[in-house]
C-alpha cells in the first residue's frame, strides 16, 4: 500500500468515525431537560398552551420540559434570549402571532425574525372573532361596514394595545372593508374586553379563545369569525369573508421555534413529538374548547406559513401607516 493510499484510508476511517459519533450523539437527544421559553407572561393563552402540552412533550422526548416565562415587548424580550441561546435543541421558544407582526411594526429589533430562528412546528390557530356590546346596534358585518364608513359618527374598536394582534385585526378590517373604525388601545386584552362588555367601546376583534366564554354567557355578542372557514366551535357563525369582507383572515397562532443553527435532525424529532402530543384526545379537546384548530406542522410548513404572515402584516402596517418606534 502506498503512503498516499494509506493516508486516504485513514481519512475515510476518520470521517466514518466522526459520522458514527455524530449520529450516536444525535440519537441520544435529549440527554437533559429541555427549556421551553414562553414569550408572554404567566396566565395568558400562550402560557396556558405551554403548560398544557409541556408534560406530554416531556413524555415523548423522555426528558423534563421546563417552562420559562420571559414576557414583555410583544414577545421580543423572550425572542432575544432564545436568539442568543446555544443551538443544541435544549432551548426552544413558544411564540405567537406577534412573531410575524413585530418586524413590520418595529424598525429596531434585537434579532432578525427569519435569520435567527429555526421553525419547528405550527401548533394551532385560533381565529379572531368580531364581538360587540350586546346593546350596540350592530347585528351584522354589513351594519358595521355601513356605520364604519360614516365619518360623521366615529365607531371605535378596542384592543390589547398598539400593535397587538387585535389592533392589527381591526386595521385589516378597515383596509378590506374601506371603513374608518377608530382604535382605542388598552394595556392588555382583559381590560379591553371588560370595557366592551360594559359598553364603553362597542367593538373588538378578539381572540376566540378569550372571548367565547363571554359570548356564551351573553356578555358579548358575536357577529362573525375571522378565520378562513367557520369554526367548529360555532358552526352557525359566518366568517367575515362570507359576510362582505372578501379575503379577510385573522388568527392568533402559536408556534415553536429554536435558535438558528439547531441541527435539522433535532428540529424534526421535536416537530414529530409535538404532532403526536396534539393528537392526544384530552389535549385536542381542551384546545377545541377555545376554538383552536390544532395543526402540528413540519418545520418546512411552518417556515412557509411564517413568511406568508410576515409579508401579509407588512402590507397591512404599511397601508395603515402604523409604526411603534
Read off the pLDDT of residues 154-198 as tens digits, 9 standing for 90 and up.
999 999 889 999 999 999 999 999 999 999 999 888 899 999 999
Per the listing, cell 366564554 goes with: 213
Spans of the chain below 50 pLDDT: 1, 3-4, 6-8, 11-12, 14-25
Residue with the three cell numbers 476511517: 13
Cell of 75: 414577545
34-126+252-320 and 127-225 have identical folds: yes
Task: Please tell me the CATH superfamily of domain 34-126+252-320, with its number.
Answer: Bordetella uptake gene, domain 1 (3.40.190.150)
Give the separation between CA 250 and CA 160, rounded to whole angstroms.
Answer: 15
Residue 2, pLDDT score: 53
- If we measure between CA atoms, which residue out of 96, 61, 91 comes closest to residue 274? 61
Which CATH architecture group holds 127-225? 3-Layer(aba) Sandwich (3.40)
Q: Dmax over Cα atoms in the chain, in whole Å?
A: 94
> Which residue, 203, 221, 214, 294, is CA-closest to 255?
294
Q: Is residue 158 a contact partner of residue 182, using CB atoms and an 8 Å limit?
A: no
Residue 19 pLDDT: 47
Report the mean per-residue pLDDT for the chain: 91
d(C-alpha 193, C-alpha 191), whole Å: 5
The closest alpha carbon to 265, from 37, 89, 59, 21, belongs to 89
pLDDT tens, 290-299? Answer: 889 999 999 9
**Ranges of each domain in the chain:** 34-126+252-320, 127-225
Q: Residues 222-225: contacts with CB within 8 Å, 24+ apart? A: 222/129, 222/130, 222/131, 223/130, 223/131, 223/132, 223/138, 223/139, 223/140, 223/141, 223/144, 224/129, 224/130, 224/141, 225/127, 225/128, 225/129, 225/130
Amino acid at each position: 500500500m502506498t503512503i498516499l493510499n494509506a493516508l486516504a484510508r485513514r481519512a475515510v476511517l476518520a470521517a466514518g468515525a466522526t459520522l458514527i459519533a455524530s449520529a450516536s450523539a444525535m440519537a441520544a437527544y435529549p440527554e437533559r431537560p429541555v427549556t421551553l421559553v414562553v414569550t408572554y407572561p404567566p396566565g395568558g393563552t400562550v402560557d396556558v398552551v405551554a403548560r398544557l402540552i409541556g408534560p406530554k412533550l416531556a413524555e415523548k422526548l423522555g426528558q423534563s420540559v421546563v417552562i420559562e416565562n420571559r414576557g414583555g415587548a410583544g414577545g421580543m424580550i423572550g425572542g432575544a434570549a432564545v436568539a442568543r441561546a446555544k443551538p443544541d435543541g435544549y432551548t426552544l421558544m413558544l411564540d405567537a402571532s406577534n412573531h410575524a407582526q413585530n418586524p413590520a411594526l418595529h424598525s429596531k429589533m434585537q434579532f432578525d425574525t427569519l435569520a435567527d430562528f429555526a421553525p419547528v412546528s405550527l401548533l394551532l390557530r385560533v381565529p379572531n372573532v368580531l364581538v360587540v356590546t350586546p346593546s350596540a346596534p350592530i347585528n351584522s358585518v354589513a351594519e358595521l361596514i355601513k356605520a364604519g364608513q360614516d365619518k360623521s359618527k366615529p365607531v371605535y374598536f378596542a384592543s390589547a394595545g398598539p400593535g397587538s394582534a387585535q389592533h392589527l385585526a381591526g386595521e385589516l378590517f378597515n383596509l378590506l372593508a374601506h371603513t374608518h373604525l377608530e382604535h382605542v388601545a388598552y394595556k392588555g386584552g382583559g381590560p379591553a374586553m371588560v370595557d366592551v362588555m360594559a359598553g364603553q367601546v362597542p367593538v373588538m376583534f378578539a381572540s376566540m379563545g378569550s372571548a367565547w366564554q363571554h359570548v356564551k354567557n351573553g356578555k358579548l355578542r358575536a357577529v362573525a369569525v375571522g378565520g378562513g372557514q367557520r369554526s367548529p366551535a360555532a358552526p352557525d357563525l359566518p366568517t367575515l369573508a362570507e359576510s362582505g369582507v372578501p379575503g379577510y383572515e385573522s388568527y392568533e397562532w402559536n408556534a415553536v421555534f429554536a435558535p438558528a443553527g439547531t441541527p435539522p435532525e433535532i428540529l424534526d424529532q421535536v416537530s414529530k413529538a409535538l404532532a403526536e402530543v396534539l393528537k392526544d384526545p384530552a389535549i385536542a379537546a381542551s384546545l377545541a374548547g377555545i376554538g383552536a384548530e390544532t395543526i402540528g406542522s413540519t418545520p418546512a410548513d411552518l417556515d412557509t406559513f411564517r413568511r406568508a404572515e410576515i409579508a401579509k402584516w407588512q402590507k397591512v402596517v404599511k397601508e395603515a401607516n402604523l409604526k411603534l418606534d
